[in-house]
Amino acid sequence: MNAIAPIARSRRLGKVHVATVTLSHGGGGKAMKDLIDDVFVSAFDNAALAPLEDQARFDLAALAAHGDRLAFTTDSFVVDPLFFPGGDIGTLAVCGTVNDLAVGGAKPLYLSCAVIIEEGVSLDLLRRVSASMARTAREAGVTIVTGDTKVVPKGACDKLFITTAGVGVIGKGVELGVHLARSGDVVLVNGLLGDHGAAILCARGDMALDTPIESDCAPLNGLIHAILAAAPGVRFMRDATRGGIATVLNEIADASGVAIDIDEAATPLREEVKGFCEILGLDPLYLANEGKIVVICPPAEAAAALATMQAHPLGARAAMIGRVTEQGEAGRVTLQTVFGGRRIVDMLVGEQLPRIC
């Protein structure tokens, strides 16, 4: 990347020759340096990381070439299980932070990666995770430039926790805000909803349900860039992660002081996810996504935004699912049911729990 000062000089990377991580790998000595080299530096492979300075350094002028504001975000990842159909904690850790930058209109550039490892975790597991972080970062066009590694005693964390932070630059004139939705705007999503939440619940295995559902985990910066180019008037975007689209829509309705009305029949859902929710008594509108965004778009640009989304590989099943309306109570999200009735879609109080009967 152009903003990284070329201060790297080649040095021999350390290697770990044991199968599992022990507390000695967190002690600050050679064992720790070998672990960092073997697992992270070799996978992430870039000039800013290799010298192992305490910080990554950027050239301000090069950053400014992308726009006029910095965007900065952070997120922690504690998913259980670490590996699931469609991804793993590594892909999530990169996608989550990339997407949090991108939905604000920023071009994501640099990520940090801090890991907390429970002693006893295998080196192979760590190498698999760092390889998928590296692969996802390449896909998203970002560089992992700094990091931290801690090893904690057994039981002090669950196998592996990752925190990533990200820096991006927002282009001139891009002004997105959760408070900007206006009556008449349309609500778009870029595809099938609830896949990630359903895939994770299935992968935990305690439901004994065998489904082909895979996580939708993906970096969305490319798609978002295309949407903003086609529909520069877009008011707001947010990735519908924990709490699903129901939560995002409530946040928008609340912050903008508007009502939002959703059409259940237009909401794209996979048959398997519908079936999964039926069996467990869950509502797919509240299931987590890791590759889905809600887009609030003025009506004049709706067709262009939707066509752009549908032309992108990560938006093939994009749909217009509802509208911001004047009718209805401000701050409320309502749903026209497939059956012809209407109900409120509120924020969840806690976690969605399966119903007894």
Partner 1 sequence: MKYLDEFRDGAKARVLTKEIETLVASMEIPARRPLQIMEVCGGHTHSIFRYGLEGMLPAAIELVHGPGCPVCVLPMGRIDDCVSIAERPEVILTTFGDAMRVPGSRMSLLQARAAGADVRMVYSPMDALALARANPDREVVFFGLGFETTMPSTALTILQAESEGVGNFSVFCNHITIVPTIKAILDSPDLQLDGFLGPGHVSMVIGAAPYEFIARHYRKPMVVAGFEPLDILQSIWMVVRQIKEGRAEVENQYARIVPYDGNEPALKAVARVYELREFFEWRGLGSIDHSGVKLRDGYAAFDAERKFSVPNIKIADPKACQCGEVLKGVIKPWQCKVFGTACTPETPLGALMVSSEGACAAYIQYGGARPRVAAA
* Binding-site ranges for partner 1 (CB under 8 A): 206-208, 271, 274-275, 278, 280-281, 283, 332, 334-335, 337-346, 349-350, 353-357
Please, what is the Cα angle at 187 between 183 and 193, to 5 degrees? 155
Other Cβ atoms within 10 Å of 29 Cβ, number: 10
- What is the nearest approach in angstroms of partner 1 to the Cβ of residue 13? 43
- What is the nearest approach in angstroms of partner 1 to the Cβ of residue 210? 14
- What is the nearest approach in angstroms of partner 1 to the Cβ of residue 353? 4
- What is the nearest approach in angstroms of partner 1 to the Cβ of residue 114? 25
Q: Which is nearer to partner 1, 146 or 334 (CB)?
A: 334
- What is the nearest approach in angstroms of partner 1 to the Cβ of residue 339? 4
Q: Which is nearer to partner 1, 151 or 335 (CB)?
A: 335
Q: Which is nearer to partner 1, 226 or 348 (CB)?
A: 348
Q: Which is nearer to partner 1, 6 or 350 (CB)?
A: 350
Do the beta carbons of residue 191 and residue 270 sit within 8 Å?
no
Q: Which is nearer to partner 1, 60 or 208 (CB)?
A: 208
- What is the nearest approach in angstroms of partner 1 to the Cβ of residue 39? 33
Residues forming beta bridges with residue 110, ordered by sequence position: 143, 167
- What is the nearest approach in angstroms of partner 1 to the Cβ of residue 42? 40
Q: Which is nearer to partner 1, 124 or 329 (CB)?
A: 329
- What is the nearest approach in angstroms of partner 1 to the Cβ of residue 296? 22
- What is the nearest approach in angstroms of partner 1 to the Cβ of residue 341? 2
Distance separating alpha carbons of residues 86 and 169, to the nearest angstrom: 29
Q: Which is nearer to partner 1, 221 or 334 (CB)?
A: 334
Do the beta carbons of residue 72 and residue 109 sit within 8 Å?
no
Q: Which is nearer to partner 1, 134 or 282 (CB)?
A: 282
